[in-house]
Structure 1
Amino acid sequence: MKIYISAILVMATIALCAQEINDNTEKWSSGRPDGHAPISVMGDHMHGKGEWMFSYRYMYMNMDELKQGTDNASYGNALENYMVTPTSMPMNMHMLGTMFAPSDKITLMAMINYITMEMEHINRMGGTFTTESKGFGDVQLSVLYKFFNANLQSLHAQLGFSIPTGGISESDITPASAPNETELPYPMQLGSGTFDTNLALTYLGQSNSVSWGSQVRGLFRFGKNDREYRLGNRYSWNNWFAVKTTDWLSFSARLEGLAISKIEGTDPDLNPMMVITADTTNSGGTFINSGLSFNLYVPTGALKNLRFGFEWAMPLFQDVNGIQLRTKESVTLGTQYSF
């Protein structure tokens, strides 16, 4: 939390000082391929009065093998204390979003997602099995407010809320429960089960051929859900740098610091001694993530303002609480159209 507040203060100070010092009155513009952040960054831009934008994103994330603290761990390490350990967890997420600007200062945003997950396991006897969950996640609603847009720089804030529409009692058949289904552990649930608050501050800058941005974000969860637990808060600081190679193509690199708190409380229907993902001790951690991406943009013609983005990302550093699946690569791609 202290890092999150410090990041906000640093970003705001740099942006406001730059606004005072620079005499250039030209506004920052989104009408170029690097006018949007890498496709994995949400709430990175705003729109002019009366403008709409619709978007679709697809994200694939792979988790494979185990991590204990900062060290790699074996399945044997996990099975010393648990009956079962996961070995991999691929996740697919489809995200539909819309933005509308009732004024030049305010943009409204809504997003819904559909998630599919699989988790492969191995037990002490060497047996393997797979569980699955799929469905809609939590609905995200936000309002973005622009503080300024001048000197080829922009600063805006985001206040968002999530509606707990995603399931938190997803179940599947396991060897221990067959032929009946049993409730799945925390990472396999589709939503948080709580009304959460999302706060973000985004600074953007650009010159003739390059652009850059920085976004600090906090996801705060309050109370406990119907299963008597609360997912951990999330604090992130995203930074990116992009190069515009033509009027329709840009390339960018991204670096993110991420901290996730442990799960608070416990689900009474989960046995924390059965599998590592049912033990809240094994939740949360700190991460440094990187990404390489490109953006395509249609500057003229009938398809003007149509965009396509792609990003490949991987972690550079992971320090997890307890023992958890190790995050591997992720791929995000999507399209955006504004009018």
Structure 2
Amino acid sequence: MKNYISAIFLIATAAFYAQETTDESEKWSAGRPDGHAPISVMGDHMHGKGEWMFSYRYMYMNMDELKQGSDNASFNDALANYMVTPTKMPMNMHMLGVMYAPSNKVTLMAMFNYLSMEMDHITRMGGTFTTEANGFGDIQFSILYRFFNKNKQTLHGQFGISIPTGSITESDVTPATAPNEVELPYPMQIGSGTFDPSLALTYLGQNESLSWGSQIRGVFRFGENDREYRYGNHYSLNNWVAVKASDWVSISARLEGLIVGEIEGEDPNLNPMMVITADTNNSGGTFINSGIGINTYVPTGKLKNLRFGVEFGYPLYQDLNGIQLRTKETITFGTQYAF
């Protein structure tokens, strides 16, 4: 983590002394269909002084079947050591965002989300059941600072904090506890229960027909929540390129490397021998994810600066700690409007 933070600050310090051009034609421009990153990337751009932007995103992620390490695993592999295993977990997330720029150098951002999840299970005796959880998640606030914008390239940093407004005590009925509810395992909780700072650095570049970008981001967990655990840190490196097909449409491709740390601590209300999702050894891993997207932008008229984007994501590689549900497809679409 120390090396990660040092890398961000070294790049940011060097960029701080770069000269800002006053020639608008030489600045990186958001006023084109590839002027934003793929819709799944957050905090990718900034705004001019006095500008607002409101956004809505919907994300669907499907987790299905099991992996142990980087190898596929069967339900019987899990049931050899646990009484229950999940078989499938679809998740839906609705995200509302607002951005405001008090100056050309600074943009403020807030993100709100609502999650709904289901998890199908099978028991060692062959029975099946489903648990559900839904609610508002943690709220995120960020400040973005632009280091430079010249030669059709720009660099900005981001510092954020996640406020633990999401529930970590979601419960549902299971066959073993009916008719009473029992606290659900870690993947079915809505929030983190901790104040989680984040750091990011985003580089963008473009020419007449192409745009490209790279974003390094870390989410850091400290302390522990009211259930005596904390989630693992997240480290990601996103890279993308987009082709400007017309003044209205662009096509993007994205590649992400992601490292998720293991859960530290243990919820005393969960039995780690009952189900794989209650065992913290089965958490975290290393991922390489891909995405293909289509982005549209209204360049003129009353709806100028209105954007729509959609991206289909798929994991290219997963190396999971312990035995876990494997991630399959992810679909994200959304709209953004700046004024």
**Contact 1:19-1:151 within 8 A present in 2 as well:** no
Answering whether residue 150 of structure 2 is matched by residue 158 of structure 1, we say: no
Residues 40-85 of structure 1: CA deviation (Å, up to 9, x unaligned): 0000000000000000000000000000000000000000000000
Structure 1 runs of 4+ with >3 Å offset: 1-20
Q: Distance in 2 between matches of 1:281 and 1:292?
A: 33
**Contact 1:152-1:207 within 8 A present in 2 as well:** yes
How far apart are 1:161 and its partner, in Å?
0.3
Partner of 2:175: 175
Q: Distance in 1 between matches of 2:108 and 2:265?
A: 34
TM-score calculated relative to the size of structure 1 = 0.96
**Contact 2:12-2:157 within 8 A present in 1 as well:** no
Q: Distance in 2 between matches of 1:153 and 1:108?
A: 21
2:142 alignment partner AA? S
Give the match's secondary structure for 2:77: helix
Partner of 1:219: 219
**Contact 1:243-1:252 within 8 A present in 2 as well:** yes
Give the match's secondary structure for 2:34: helix
Q: Distance in 1 between matches of 2:75 and 2:297?
A: 46
Partner of 1:44: 44
Q: CA RMSD in A?
A: 2.0
Question: What pairs up with 1:245-264 in 2 under 5 angstroms?
Answer: 245-264=245-264
Partner of 1:192: 192
Partner of 2:322: 322
Q: Distance in 2 between matches of 1:17 and 1:110?
A: 28
Answering whether residue 61 of structure 2 is matched by residue 61 of structure 1, we say: yes
**Contact 2:160-2:197 within 8 A present in 1 as well:** yes
Partner of 1:81: 81
For these two proteins, the number of residue pairs brought into alignment is 337
TM-score calculated relative to the size of structure 2 = 0.96
Q: Distance in 2 between matches of 1:241 and 1:326?
A: 27
**Contact 1:11-1:214 within 8 A present in 2 as well:** no
How far apart are 1:4 and its partner, in Å?
3.9
How far apart are 1:198 and its partner, in Å?
1.0
Q: Distance in 2 between matches of 1:214 and 1:252?
A: 13
Give the match's secondary structure for 2:26: coil
**Contact 2:16-2:147 within 8 A present in 1 as well:** no
Q: Distance in 2 between matches of 1:161 and 1:9?
A: 18
Give the match's secondary structure for 1:77: helix
- What percent of counterpart residues are identical? 76
**Contact 2:166-2:192 within 8 A present in 1 as well:** yes
Answering whether residue 100 of structure 2 is matched by residue 116 of structure 1, we say: no
How far apart are 1:14 and its partner, in Å?
10
Partner of 1:309: 309
Residues 230-249 of structure 1: CA deviation (Å, up to 9, x unaligned): 00000000000000010010
Partner of 1:146: 146
2:212 alignment partner AA? W
Q: Distance in 1 between matches of 2:233 and 2:313?
A: 22
